[in-house]
């Protein structure tokens, strides 16, 4: 089960970014939410120059799995 029902529709990095920020809104407000919002932004900065489509899809898949884990813990 995905954190939000739109997970299967995520195909691009911009869609992933918006999806992950929407997931953050479901976390408790305060330091936890701020931590994950910051981590999402930093991760996108680190991977901004990625141009291999296969690698991008791997990153998207892993990010959705990680978001699922965070939302369920």
60 is in which domain, residue-wise?
Answer: 7-72
Quick check: is 26 in a domain?
A: yes
Quick check: is 23 in a domain?
A: yes
Q: Residue 1's pLDDT is what?
A: 45
- Residue 66 reports pLDDT greater than 50: yes
pLDDT one-digit tens code per residue, 3-42: 667 777 888 889 999 999 999 999 988 999 999 999 999 9
Count of the separate structural domains present in the chain:
1
Quick check: is 61 in a domain?
A: yes
Quick check: is 37 in a domain?
A: yes
Contacts of 6-15 spanning 24+ positions with Cβ under 8 A: 7/64, 7/67, 7/68, 10/60, 10/64, 11/60, 13/44, 13/47, 13/56, 13/59, 13/60
Quick check: is 1 in a domain?
A: no
Quick check: is 2 in a domain?
A: no
Quick check: is 53 in a domain?
A: yes
Quick check: is 11 in a domain?
A: yes
């Amino acid at each position: 089960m995905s954190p939000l029902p739109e997970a299967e529709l995520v195909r691009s990095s911009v869609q992933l970014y918006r999806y992950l920020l929407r997931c953050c809104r479901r976390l408790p407000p305060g330091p936890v939410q701020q931590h994950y919002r910051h981590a999402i932004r930093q991760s996108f900065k680190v991977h901004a120059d990625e141009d291999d489509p296969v690698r991008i899809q791997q990153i998207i898949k892993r990010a959705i799995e990680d978001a699922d884990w965070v939302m369920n813990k």
